Structure 1
Amino acid sequence: MHHPSRHIKSESKTMSKIEKFNHDGAVIGYREDGSGRPILLIHGTGGDGAANFNGLMPCLADRRVLRPDYAGSGLTQDPTGVLTLDRLVAQVIGAADHAGFGTFDLVGFSLGAAVATRLAALHPERVERLVLIGGFVTGADPRSQLQFQHWAHLARTDPDALARLMLLTGFSRDFLSGIGDLEAVVSDMVAGSNWDGIARQSELDLRVDVSGDLGAVKARTLVIGNRFDQMVDPAASEALANGIEGAVLAWVEGPHLALMETPEAVGNLIQGHLAV
């Protein structure tokens, strides 16, 4: 779900166009790249459109890609204290409208998968193909409640500890072993992250429930689960796929942040789905 570090994330080789607009008391920012069929990417808790998706961009070189940041992240400034899934959906749709996107393919990661699920349910006429990565139907189970409460608490009281927890539970052992100076990574995360935004997003994770949205999703859907996920129960991907009519379930043999650790593996699955 998280923005691990400028040291870790893959950098896009192109310079994105950055746009901002006013929307319902907030300033919403998004990145736009390329040309071709439109695709919209929704990041996860504590991430943003760059941190979560830069590594995926080479797989989408033939597409017009929109990467909005929702409340609490990146380019967007929204002082709203208690976030709702509907507010984030409205901000993402607002970005699509501002960019002139009519219909589009939609990719959501983690909390962004919940946003994407509700968006696809509320606006079936807009979404052609849907990809949900490391998503979950609800944050109500006991382990998720423990985790998201802990994240929110640490985001407000001990960002250094939360940065370390993100790394330990978000990435694989081998990946972390290959980074080198982990202390520099932690320092970078502490200095560069929006911790108030992470706290507010974590509190939203506690309240997420898209169980009532699954039956309304009409887009052709691919659900990608992370087999060794320590942040979100891999069984949550099975629940998403089972709840959406016709959805296909695929697996990445990696951790929750496989999208950032091995973006090529995730990208190959997405390309296959979008080509159908």
Structure 2
Amino acid sequence: MPAIPLNGRQLTYRDTGSGAPVMLIMGSGAAGSAWHLHQVPVLTAAGHRVITFDNRGVQSDDTGDFTMGDLVADTAGLIEALDIAPCAVVGTSLGARITAELALEHPHLVHRIVLMAARGRSDALHTALTLAEHELHERGIVLPPRYRAVIKALTELSPSGFADHQALIDWLDVFELAPPPGPGVRAQRRLYPMPDRLAAYRDIKTPCHVVAFADDVIAPPAAARELAAAVPGASCEIIEGCGHLGYLERPAAVNRALLDFLEAASS
């Protein structure tokens, strides 16, 4: 993948297709390549130029010393370097938070945003889960890979898929192979619990669509509705049968939601 020097580091990215530009921002601990499994092929086939990249913290040589402001600055810098402003921006989870802050700080860079698996503040459960993870890291406790996989399945997948025995085994195998979080990913997770940004998000002027996943325990539909109510004119959509990783569990429904919103911009 090509890399570009931005804000004191090399930011790796992929630029695929041609047409109206769309930037996709991944969530905590995941590389931008995750979008290429399902979303990028569909978006490029629909006539979009799609840019994906690795957030600060994902690369093995990333340190644990950065802020939300750094993540937003990286994104803004890449948009400017590629000369694609104003572009559509889609973010999931941490990527949605980056997207919302980008729309606030650099509204001239974006003309449409999609916030998936998103929230405007941490609630009691999200805060407790985040602080528990921080405590594990501070104590130097590394969970066994299989146990870590089970926890990830319980918190990031929909229980509706657990009845498919083989599919669940496949998910657990994938999760088990993932390495434990390094310093960069731990730094991403230290950006949570999320402060209450609902009042600030009332200043977002960019057209916004909030997409929630019905069985998401990390960013439940209630949090999505609260977020959409805070952003002036924002729409909200709930996709059934998926959890926090809805873009992987229900890719066809997610792709349809993205295309419907993006195509509305040109109609």
Coarse TM-score class (shorter-chain normalised):
0.7 to 0.9
Within the alignment, does 1:157 sit opposite 2:146 as a pair? no
Partners of 1:163 and 1:98 lie apart in 2 by 38
Q: Could you say which residue in structure 2 is the equivalent of 1:184?
A: 173
CA apart distance, 1:77: 4.5
Determine which of 195, 220, 226 is the counterpart of 2:213.
226
Task: Give the residue type in structure 1 aligned to 2:53.
Answer: P
Structure 1 residues 38 and 196: CA distance shift in structure 2, 3 A: same
1:116 partner amino acid: T
Q: Do the aligned residues in 2 keep the contact of 1:33 with 1:65 (CA within 8 Å)?
A: yes
The 1:232/1:221 distance shift into structure 2, 3 A limit, reads same
Change over 3 Å in CA distance of 1:92–1:236 after alignment to 2: same
Change (3 A) 1:57 1:208: farther
RMSD of Structure 2 on Structure 1 (CA): 2.1
Structure 1: stretches of 5+ with no match in the other structure:
1-17
Alignment of 1:196 with 2:180, yes or no, is no
Q: Structure 2: which 5+ residue stretches go unaligned?
A: none
Q: Indicate the SS of the match to 2:218.
A: coil
Contact 1:44–1:52, Cα closer than 8 Å, also in 2: no
2:159 counterpart of 1:173: yes
Structure-1 separation of matches of 2:19 and 2:124: 43
Partner secondary structure for residue 4 of structure 2: strand
Q: State the TM-score, normalized to the length of structure 2.
A: 0.86
Structure 2 CA distance for aligned equivalents of residues 183 and 226 of structure 1 = 20
Structure 1 moving runs of 4+ over 6 Å: none
1:183 shift after superposition? 5.5
Shift of 1:152: 3.6
**1:252-267 correspondence runs (5 A):** 252-253=239-240, 254-267=242-255
Fraction of identical pairs, as percent: 27
Corresponding pairs, count: 254
- Tell me how far apart the structure 1 counterparts of residues 99 and 52 of structure 2 sit (CA, whole Å): 13
Counterpart Cα distance in 1 of 2:81 and 2:181: 25
Provide the secondary structure at the position in 2 that maps to 1:264: helix
Assess, with a 3 A threshold, how the Cα gap between structure 1 residues 181 and 238 changes in structure 2: closer, same or farther.
closer
Following the alignment from structure 2 to structure 1, what is the Cα–Cα distance between the partners of residues 194 and 217?
Answer: 20
Shift of residue 187, structure 1, vs aligned partner: 3.4
Render the CA deviation track for 1:123-182: whole Å, top value 9, x for unaligned: 11221111110101122x221111112334446532524333112211123545333455
Q: Map of 1:48-127 to 2, 5 A cutoff?
A: 48-52=31-35, 54-61=37-44, 62-74=47-59, 77-81=61-65, 83-127=66-110
**Which residues in structure 2 correspond to 1:3-22 (within 5 Å)?**
18-22=1-5
* Alpha-carbon distance in structure 1 between the residues aligned to 2:29 and 2:126: 16
Q: Secondary structure at the match of 1:28?
A: strand
